[in-house]
Amino acid sequence: MPNSQYRYLQRHFSDLIRDNKLKSGTKLPSEREIGEAFKVTRVTVRQALQNLEAEGLIYRQNRRGWFVTPPAVVYDPASHLSFNRYVAEQGSTPHTEKLAQQVEPANAKIAQLMCITEGTPVLFLHRRRYINLRPILIEKMYINLDLLPGLENEDLSQSLSQLLQQKYQREYRDMDLSFKSTALPSHAANDLGISTGQAGLQVERINYTSDKKVLEIDYEFWRHDAVTINIAIRD
Amino acid sequence: MPNSQYRYLQRHFSDLIRDNKLKSGTKLPSEREIGEAFKVTRVTVRQALQNLEAEGLIYRQNRRGWFVTPPAVVYDPASHLSFNRYVAEQGSTPHTEKLAQQVEPANAKIAQLMCITEGTPVLFLHRRRYINLRPILIEKMYINLDLLPGLENEDLSQSLSQLLQQKYQREYRDMDLSFKSTALPSHAANDLGISTGQAGLQVERINYTSDKKVLEIDYEFWRHDAVTINIAIRD
DNA sequence: AATACAATCTGGTATATACCAGTTGACAAC
DNA sequence: GTTGTCAACTGGTATATACCAGATTGTATT
C-alpha cells in the first residue's frame, strides 16, 4: 500500500546502509544532488531523509550534511559500570566534557527527593558525553554534598563512579530509573547540536547509597539513535 | 536564536495544551484552517504539527485530523502487574485484541533463546492493546509450550499473567529487558494505524520461570507518547 | 606560512499550488 | 429505519521556487 517516491528513496538508502555499502560516518550527497539524481524535489528528498533519521539510520549536522549513524552503544544501568568503561568495552572511545558546575541551594523537588531541607547546598553538574567525538548524551546531575563533602573540588570531567569509589568508598547500588521516548527539550537539543523537535530518550535516575540515602539525581538526555538499554530484572 | 513561524505555531499550541485549554482527546482545527488563521502555508503548519507530535503533545489519525494526546501510562515491567491491572490502577480502561495466534515451529533465534531444538512447536501470539479505545501497543510473543502445554486452547485475549498463575501455577519472575527508542517498523506502525516513520519505543523481553527456564519472549512496540517506563534496581 | 575574506556549498525556512486517497455526513432510494 | 451514493472535507504526497544563515574552501593578502 505505501508506495511513493519518498518511500522509494528511503528504501534505497536504507538498503545501502544495511548492506554496508554506505559505511558508518559516511556523508551522504547533498539534498540537492540526491534530488537531481532521482528527479524529485528537495521537499521529497527531505521527507525521506527525515524518516531515515527517525529510524536512526542517518543523522544530520547543521548545514554540514547528512551522515550514516554509527552503531548504538548498549547501556545497562544496573551493571554498575561507568560510562567510560562500557563504551570502551564495546570498542568505542568515550569522552566527557564538563559544561557547568555549581554549588547551589536545593530547590523544593530536589530537596524532597534527597530528604534534605530546601536550600541545603547541593552540587549541580552539567556534562556532555561523546562517543568517538560525536556528542550523544547530556547529563544534568544534582549531587548530595552531605554524603560527598568536598566533591566540588575534584576534577569532575572524570568518571564519577570511579571518584566516588576511590575517594569516598561509596558506590552506586540501588537506583530508580524512569525512561521516556520523546523529543528532547530545546536546552538538551542545543547542547547536542541537533535541531529542536528531534527524538530522544530521556532518563531520570535516582542513585541510592547502600544505606538507602539519595546520593545523586540524574537527568539524562540521549540521542535516540545512540543507545539501546538493557536491564536484567532478578528477584 | 530559533525564531520562525512554525516555532511560533508550535509554541502557541504547546501553551494551549499545557494550560489545559485544549483538553486531552480534543481535535485541532484542520491544517488548512490553521494556515488561514495564522496566515502561513500548510507546509509550515505541518512542520509545527509534526514537531508537536514528536514532543508527544498531539497525534494524528489518518485523514481524520490531529488530536491532543492523553496522559501516558506508567509501566513498571518489574512490578509483576499485568497490563490490565496497571492501566486500570491509573484510572484508564485497558482493552486487548487478539490479532493472530498460531502454533509454529521455533525458528533458530527463538530456539536458541529458549534452549529448545529448532522446529519444536511454540505458540506465536500477536495482540493489540488499547487504552481508552486508543491503540497504543503491539505485542508479538513466542511462548514455550513445553512449559505451558495446552495454552493454545485458552482465551488469549485475556490477561496472560493471570492465566499462567491460575491454570499453570506459574508467574513472571526474572526477565531480561531491552529498550530502544526508534521509528516503529512498518508492520507495527500499520497495526497501530500510524504512518511509517513515526517514533516509538521497542521493547524486547525474555521472561524466565523461577527455575530459570525461558517461559516467553516478547517483542513490544509502543506509541512513544503513550508510555513512561519506571524500574527500580535493587541489589 | 599564517591570516583575512569572499565565493560557494550546505541545510533551514517559507510561499504557492496541485492532485490523491481515505473519512464523514447529508440526502436520496429503498 | 436501513442502505447506498455522492459531495465535501481531511490529511498525504508532490512540484517549483526563493531566500536565509551557518560551514567550508579557495584565493588573495599579509
For the segment B124-136, what is each residue's pLDDT rounded down to a tens digit? 999 999 999 899 9
C-alpha separations of A69 from A56, A61, A195, B149, B229 in Å: 7, 11, 16, 44, 26
Domain that residue A183 falls in: 73-229
CA atoms of A45 and B77, how far apart (whole Å)? 40
Backbone torsions φ then ψ of A216, nearest 5 degrees: -165, 145
Q: Work out the minimum CA distance from B221 to partner chain A, whole angstroms.
A: 12
Does B171 reside within a domain? yes
Cβ–Cβ contacts within 10 Å for residue B204, how many?
15
Contact across the interface for B233 and A77, Cβ inside 8 Å: yes
Does A12 reside within a domain? yes
Print the SS3 string covering chain A: CCCCHHHHHHHHHHHHHHCCCCCCCCECCCHHHHHHHHCCCHHHHHHHHHHHHHCCCEEEECCCEEEECCCCEEECHHHCCCHHHHHHHCCCCEEEEEEEEEEEECCHHHHHHHCCCCCCEEEEEEEEEEECCEEEEEEEEEEECCCCCCHHHCCCCCCHHHHHHHHHCCCCCCEEEEEEEEECCHHHHHHHCCCCCCEEEEEEEEEECCCCCEEEEEEEEEEHHHEEEEEEECC
Do B24 and B43 belong to one domain? Answer: yes
CA atoms of A90 and A72, how far apart (whole Å)? 10
Nearest to B181 among A7, A173, A181 (CB): A181
Give the count of alpha carbons within 13 A of B69, CB side only: 23
Q: How many independent structural domains does chain B possess?
A: 2
Specify the CATH number for the domain of residue A60. Answer: 1.10.10.10
Cβ–Cβ contacts within 10 Å for residue B77, how many?
20
CA atoms of B138 and B219, how far apart (whole Å)? 8
C-alpha separations of B43 from A62, B4, B49 in Å: 21, 13, 10
Give the pLDDT mean for B181-188: 92
Does B46 reside within a domain? yes
Residues 47-66 of chain B sitting with CB below 7 angstroms of strand C: 47, 62-64
Do A80 and A173 belong to one domain? Answer: yes
Nearest to A224 among B178, B182, B231 (CB): B182
Helix (H) or strand (E) holding B190: helix B186-192
Å separating the CA of residue A64 from the C1' of nucleotide D18: 21
Do B111 and B224 belong to one domain? Answer: yes
Q: Which three cell numbers stand for residue A43?
A: 521537499
Whether A99 has its CB under 8 Å from any CB of chain B: the answer is: no
Does B235 reside within a domain? no
In contact, B203 and B220? CB cutoff 8 Å? yes
B-chain residues within 8 Å CB-CB of A77? 233
CA atoms of B112 and A130, how far apart (whole Å)? 35
B-chain residues within 8 Å CB-CB of A7? 196
Nearest to A78 among B7, B181, B233 (CB): B233
**Is the confidence at residue B208, as pLDDT, over 60?**
yes
Do B79 and B159 belong to one domain? Answer: yes
Domain end among B68, B86, B117: B68
pLDDT confidence of residue A227? 96
Does B234 reside within a domain? no
Q: Which three cell numbers stand for residue B86?
A: 496497571
Which of B233, B234, B235 to mutate to probe the A interface, most A CBs <10 Å? B233
Does B136 reside within a domain? yes
Contact across the interface for A198 and B54, Cβ inside 8 Å: yes
pLDDT confidence of residue A2? 60
Nearest to B140 by CA among B164, B107, B173, B116: B107
Do B34 and B79 belong to one domain? Answer: no
Place of cell 528531534: A198
Q: Which three cell numbers stand for residue A175?
A: 537506583
pLDDT digit string (tens) for chain A, length 235 residues: 468 999 999 999 999 999 999 999 999 999 999 999 999 999 999 999 999 999 999 999 999 999 999 999 999 988 888 899 999 999 999 999 999 999 999 999 999 999 999 999 999 999 999 999 899 999 999 999 999 998 999 999 998 988 888 888 888 889 999 999 999 999 999 999 998 888 899 999 999 998 899 999 999 999 999 999 999 988 7
CA atoms of B48 and B66, how far apart (whole Å)? 12
Which of B180, B186, B212, B227 to mutate to probe the A interface, most A CBs <10 Å? B180
**Is the confidence at residue B210, as pLDDT, over 90?**
no
CA atoms of A189 and A136, how far apart (whole Å)? 10
Domain end among B47, B68, B89: B68
Specify the CATH number for the domain of residue A186. Answer: 3.40.1410.10
B 210-229 residues inside an 8 A Cβ radius of A? 222, 224-225, 228-229
Nearest to B51 among A43, A56, A197 (CB): A197
Do B139 and B54 belong to one domain? Answer: no
Q: Please report, in angstroms and rounded to a whole number, the separation of the first and last CA atoms in chain A.
A: 46
Do A83 and A190 belong to one domain? Answer: yes
Whether B54 has its CB under 8 Å from any CB of chain A: the answer is: yes
Contact across the interface for A54 and B201, Cβ inside 8 Å: no
Do B136 and B49 belong to one domain? Answer: no
CA atoms of B49 and B60, how far apart (whole Å)? 9
Do B16 and B100 belong to one domain? Answer: no
For the segment B98-116, what is each residue's pLDDT rounded down to a tens digit? 999 999 999 999 999 999 9
In this prediction, what percent of chain B has a pLDDT beyond 90? 79
pLDDT confidence of residue B1? 46
Which residues lie closer than 8 Å to B105 by C-beta, 6 or more apart? B118, B119, B120, B121, B122
pLDDT confidence of residue B2? 60
Do B50 and B108 belong to one domain? Answer: no
Domain end among B21, B42, B68: B68
Give the pLDDT mean for B169-185: 90
Helix (H) or strand (E) holding B207: strand B199-208
**Is the confidence at residue B58, as pLDDT, over 60?**
yes
Question: Which bases of strand D have any atom within 7 Å of the beta carbon of a protein residue?
Answer: 9-18, 21-24
Nearest to B141 by CA among B221, B21, B35: B221
CA atoms of A216 and A127, how far apart (whole Å)? 14
* Residue A133 CB-density burial (10 A; 0-12 exposed, 13-18 middle, 19+ buried): exposed
Does B181 reside within a domain? yes
Provide the 3-class DSSP secondary structure of residue B45: helix
Does A235 reside within a domain? no
Do B116 and B10 belong to one domain? Answer: no
Do B60 and B166 belong to one domain? Answer: no
